[in-house]
């Protein structure tokens, strides 16, 4: 029987953050599928007025408009909402999810290519007490951050960070290591026809914070 990994032991926040430089722009300025896979294990950190919060990225999805019918930029759709996707890589794309929650993406690829990577789940590492208060969920529960809307609520990510430079200081990705990585079709994009079957979802095998099965 496969054992579910336990919550990681508390870490030294100062040691993690001290001297850790955000990932450079060239990390993001690569093909969406490459960045989506390479984001697994990286540490997403948000410095908020309440304190520093963050966690290891354990699940992502790649979106490659305008050809990709699952992407918000499908067909070259360029609106106020999608505008940041057409700009340089390494900026935040945030959108409302089902009109109730926020979802956080990183803009990738080359300027003019509306590609993005959705961050679907994180393993919490920093500021668990802050995240727990925001979510109303005990810090040891997987429900704290095991979904795109949940992680945004826990990290204090909302419309205010739209277009934020991820190479700055407030909202960043830091280096981190990943375990074995698997892939599958993306979640909840059945409307995209054949594009829904593309295996463009990446996740860390066995990590309990992955949002939906498979977790093997």
Task: Report the alpha-carbon distance of residue 3 to residue 1 in Å, rounded.
Answer: 6
Res 23: pLDDT: 97
Q: Please give the C-alpha separations between residue 158 and each of 22, 101, 142, 198, in angstroms, as whole numbers.
A: 20, 8, 21, 28
CA atoms within 13 A on the CB side of 180: 5
**Strand 201-204 versus strand 51-64 pairing type:** antiparallel
Mean per-residue pLDDT for 134-156?
A: 97
128 falls within a domain? yes
The pLDDT value given to residue 98: 76
* Domain-located, residue 132: yes
Give the tens place of pLDDT for each residue, 20-37.
Answer: 899 999 999 999 999 999
Among the listed ranges 13-17, 58-62, 183-187, which one has the minimum average pLDDT value?
13-17
Q: What is the mean pLDDT of residues 76-82?
A: 89
Q: In the prediction, which pLDDT does 17 show?
A: 67
Q: Examine the pLDDT at 8 and tell me if it is beyond 70.
A: no
Q: Is 87 domain-assigned?
A: yes
Instruction: Decide if 216 is inside a domain.
Output: no
* Cβ contact 173:23 at 8 Å: yes
Confidence of residue 216 (pLDDT cuts 50, 70, 90): low
**Single pTM value for the model:** 0.91
Range of the domain at 66: 21-204
Question: For position 2, what pLDDT does the model report?
Answer: 39
User: Exposure of 1 by Cβ count < 10 A (0-12 exposed, 13-18 middle, 19+ buried)?
Assistant: exposed
- The number of folded domains in the chain is 1
Q: Is 95 within the bounds of a domain?
A: yes
The per-residue pLDDT for range 95-114, each reduced to its tens digit, is 998 778 999 999 999 999 99
Is 10 inside any structural domain?
A: no
Mean pLDDT along residues 148-159? 98
The percentage of residues in the chain with a pLDDT greater than 90, rounded to a whole number, is: 83
Instruction: Annotate 175-186 with b (16+ C-beta within 10 A) or e (fewer).
Output: ebebeeebbbeb
Q: For the domain that residue 105 is a member of, what is the CATH number?
A: 3.10.300.10
Residue 8 lies in a domain: no
Q: Compute the distance between CA of residue 127 and CA of residue 107 in angstroms, rounded to an integer.
A: 26
Residue pair 138/79 in contact (Cβ under 8 Å)? The answer is no
pLDDT at 161 over 90: yes
Secondary structure E strands in 23-91: 43-48, 51-64
The chain-wide mean pLDDT, for the chain, equals: 91
Q: Is residue 61 part of a domain?
A: yes
């Amino acid at each position: 029987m496969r054992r579910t990994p336990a919550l990681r032991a508390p870490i030294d926040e100062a040691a993690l953050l001290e001297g850790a430089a955000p990932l450079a722009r060239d990390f993001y300025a690569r093909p969406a599928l490459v960045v989506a896979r390479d984001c697994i294990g990286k540490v997403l950190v948000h410095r908020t007025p309440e304190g520093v919060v963050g966690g290891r990225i354990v699940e992502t999805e790649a979106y490659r408009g305008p050809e990709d019918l699952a992407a918000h930029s499908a067909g070259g759709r360029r609106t106020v909402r999608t505008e940041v996707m057409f700009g340089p890589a390494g900026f935040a794309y945030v959108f409302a999810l089902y009109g109730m929650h926020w979802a956080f993406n990183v803009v990738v690829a080359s300027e003019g290519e509306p590609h993005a990577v959705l961050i679907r789940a994180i393993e919490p590492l920093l500021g668990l007490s802050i995240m727990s208060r925001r979510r109303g969920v005990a810090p040891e529960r997987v429900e704290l951050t095991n979904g795109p809307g949940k992680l945004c609520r826990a990290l204090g990510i909302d419309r205010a960070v739209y277009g934020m430079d991820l190479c700055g200081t407030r909202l960043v990705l830091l280096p981190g290591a990943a375990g074995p990585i698997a892939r599958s079709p993306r979640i909840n994009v059945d409307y995209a026809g054949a594009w829904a079957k593309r295996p463009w979802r990446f996740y860390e095998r066995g990590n309990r914070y992955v949002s939906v099965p498979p977790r093997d």
